[in-house]
Amino acid sequence: DTAVSQTPKYLVTQMGNDKSIKCEQNLGHDTMYWYKQDSKKFLKIMFSYNNKELIINETVPNRFSPKSPDKAHLNLHINSLELGDSAVYFCASSLGLAFYEQYFGPGTRLTVT
Amino acid sequence: GENVEQHPSTLSVQEGDSAVIKCTYSDSASNYFPWYKQELGKRPQLIIDIRSNVGEKKDQRIAVTLNKTAKHFSLHITETQPEDSAVYFCAATPNRDDKIIFGKGTRLHILP
């Protein structure tokens, strides 16, 4: 009965490859997010979707493309991976935008070699 | 846009002592201030939050205070225990429809 789940947990890949990370929440929330946490532990929002609609798109390279097939899922596709993309990526969900508790997934540790 | 500054970046306290982490924000319209705890290798989890119509909130050993005039808020942990060792993030959000902005985190070490 995991609230927010992500797959895979670990992802090791070479520069130039394309990869996807999947996220699912079973909390019935309307809003989902992707965050990037770098090696210094800085937690930065990348995207936010509300009812499958893109609400927030931070200054993220267009190699990153989120897709929300339905309210319960938000996937992240990354093209042409670079060394600087190595980080932990967290998916999260909340009842609404910003003003509500965010429930984070377990994270996906992406290592680009 | 909103900017959240968090201090200190690292804090070591003796077990049983108190720990205080401070944050300042720039947008006076911010009205929701959550604190998240992230244990090593785990996901961030909400531990306490405060809204702008309240000056202080307590939950057992944890308390948060908010000074809207000075635009700062603080997390207070009393009688610290080993399981309090983690990274703590403060955050602020300007309004209901905007994104949440996180501080850069404080790594808290509880010394035996």
Per-residue pLDDT tens, chain A, 113 aa: give them. 679 999 999 999 999 999 999 999 999 999 999 999 998 889 999 999 888 888 877 778 999 999 999 999 999 999 999 999 999 999 999 998 777 899 999 999 999 99
Backbone angles phi, psi at A85, to 5 degrees: -80, -10
CA distance, residue B33 to nearest chain A CA (Å)? 9
User: What is the structure's pLDDT at B94?
Assistant: 75
Looking at residue A80, the DSSP 8-state letter turns out to be S
Closest CB to B99 among A48, A105, A106 = A48
Q: Is B107 exposed, middle or buried (0-12, 13-18, 19+ CB in 10 A)?
A: middle
- The tokens of B109 are what? 């070490």
Say which residue, B2 or B28, is predicted with more confidence.
B28
- If interface means Cβ-Cβ distance under 8 Å, which residues of chain B face chain A? 32, 34, 36, 38, 42-46, 49, 87, 89, 93, 95-102, 104-105, 107
Nearest to A110 by CA among A6, A32, A8, A40: A8
CA distance, residue B56 to nearest chain A CA (Å)? 18
User: What is the structure's pLDDT at B99?
Assistant: 79
Q: What is the mean pLDDT of residues B101-109?
A: 95
